[in-house]
């Protein structure tokens, strides 16, 4: 489903060339939870940004369902990001003045889900990630870290993405809550027939993954 070939990303920093991602190739099938592990500065976030089309590679290809996103024009890329990708962040990045359910509804406002269906879909997703109805109308500040991350995962799934990208999704959670979130992501990959890639520097999380990619200085080892 995802096929990355010879992917590289170079930055110019203070006149110096930094190779953040260096000739990376890998494949992830649909329905698989995989993990990219590596130390700080190894290129994990850069690689994830390339996969999510938030940044352009210097060279290489990224095929999602056989379509190379590196070659897509800007208009198509916007659609790709909205419809095919879900993002989960370490800091959850929920909109603070929207309720849990409205945070999940938000991405559907850009993809043509009818107004009447949005709330119903959001409620279903929240239930699937273990958020009970009494919390649907709470603002993020009135939810625990683990609950906020569950809402963020529901939001990432709102448009049935083919690929969910999670950058250090458990970085702000205690280890027991982190484990629950990782098990949830793993379960969702399988049941929703989506591909989930999580970035981490935690070996415990990596053990839950079906595939582990180890990044070191921008290269897979």
Ligand X SMILES: Nc1ncnc2c1ncn2[C@@H]1O[C@H](COP(=O)(O)OP(=O)(O)O)[C@@H](O)[C@H]1O
Provide the binding-site residues for ligand X, judged by CB under 6 A.
11, 13, 18, 20, 38, 40-46
When CB distances are held under 5 to 8 angstroms depending on the partner's kind, the choice from Mg ion, ligand X, none that residue 206 binds is none
Between residues 42 and 148, which has the closer beta carbon with respect to Mg ion? 42
Residues 6+ apart with CB under 8 A from 191: none
Between residues 37 and 125, which has the closer beta carbon with respect to Mg ion? 37
When CB distances are held under 5 to 8 angstroms depending on the partner's kind, the choice from Mg ion, ligand X, none that residue 20 binds is ligand X
CB of 92 to ligand X, least distance (A): 18
The answer to whether 209 and 203 have CB atoms below 8 angstroms apart is no
The answer to whether 189 and 157 have CB atoms below 8 angstroms apart is no
User: Interface with Mg ion includes 45 (CB under 5 A)?
Assistant: yes
Between residues 38 and 86, which has the closer beta carbon with respect to ligand X? 38
Please say whether the dihedral angle defined by the alpha carbons of residues 53, 82, 98 and 126, taken in this order, is positive or negative: negative
Between residues 15 and 73, which has the closer beta carbon with respect to ligand X? 15
Pairing of strands 59-64, 33-37: unpaired
Cα atoms in the Cβ-side hemisphere of radius 13 Å centred on 164: 34
Q: Which residue is nearest to Mg ion (CB)?
A: 45
Helix axes of 175-191 and 145-156: crossing angle, nearest 10 degrees: 20
CB of 199 to Mg ion, least distance (A): 7
Between residues 10 and 180, which has the closer beta carbon with respect to ligand X? 10
What is the per-residue binding string for Mg ion in 119-138, x denoting contact by CB under 5 A? --------------------
Please say whether the dihedral angle defined by the alpha carbons of residues 88, 93, 99 and 103, taken in this order, is positive or negative: negative
d(CA 140, CA 152): 10
When CB distances are held under 5 to 8 angstroms depending on the partner's kind, the choice from ligand X, Mg ion, none that residue 200 binds is none
When CB distances are held under 5 to 8 angstroms depending on the partner's kind, the choice from Mg ion, ligand X, none that residue 38 binds is ligand X
CB of 46 to ligand X, least distance (A): 3
The answer to whether 181 and 4 have CB atoms below 8 angstroms apart is no
CB of 111 to ligand X, least distance (A): 29
Cα atoms in the Cβ-side hemisphere of radius 13 Å centred on 35: 21
CB of 71 to Mg ion, least distance (A): 26
Between residues 61 and 219, which has the closer beta carbon with respect to ligand X? 219
Cα atoms in the Cβ-side hemisphere of radius 13 Å centred on 144: 10
Positions that interact with Mg ion (CB under 5 A): 44-45
């Amino acid at each position: 489903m995802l096929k990355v070939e010879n992917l590289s990303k170079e930055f110019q920093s203070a006149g110096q060339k930094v190779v953040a991602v260096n000739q990376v190739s890998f494949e992830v099938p649909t329905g698989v939870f995989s993990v990219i592990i590596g130390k700080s500065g190894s290129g994990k976030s850069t690689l994830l940004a390339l996969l999510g089309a938030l940044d352009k590679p210097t060279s290489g290809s990224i095929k999602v369902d056989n379509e190379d996103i590196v070659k897509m024009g800007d208009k198509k890329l916007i659609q790709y990001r909205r419809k095919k990708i879900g993002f989960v962040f370490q800091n959850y990045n929920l909109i603070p003045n929207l309720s849990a359910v409205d945070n999940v509804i938000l991405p559907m406002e850009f993809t043509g889900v009818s107004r009447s269906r949005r709330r119903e879909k959001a409620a279903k997703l929240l239930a699937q990630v273990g958020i009970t109805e009494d919390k649907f109308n709470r603002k993020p500040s009135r939810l625990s870290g683990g609950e906020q991350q569950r809402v963020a995962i529901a939001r990432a799934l709102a448009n049935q993405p083919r690929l969910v990208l999670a950058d250090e999704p458990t970085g702000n959670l205690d280890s027991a809550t982190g484990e629950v979130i990782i098990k949830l992501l793993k379960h969702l990959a399988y049941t929703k027939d989506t591909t989930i890639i999580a970035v981490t520097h935690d070996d415990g999380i990596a053990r839950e993954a079906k595939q582990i990619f180890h990044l070191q200085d921008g290269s897979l080892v």
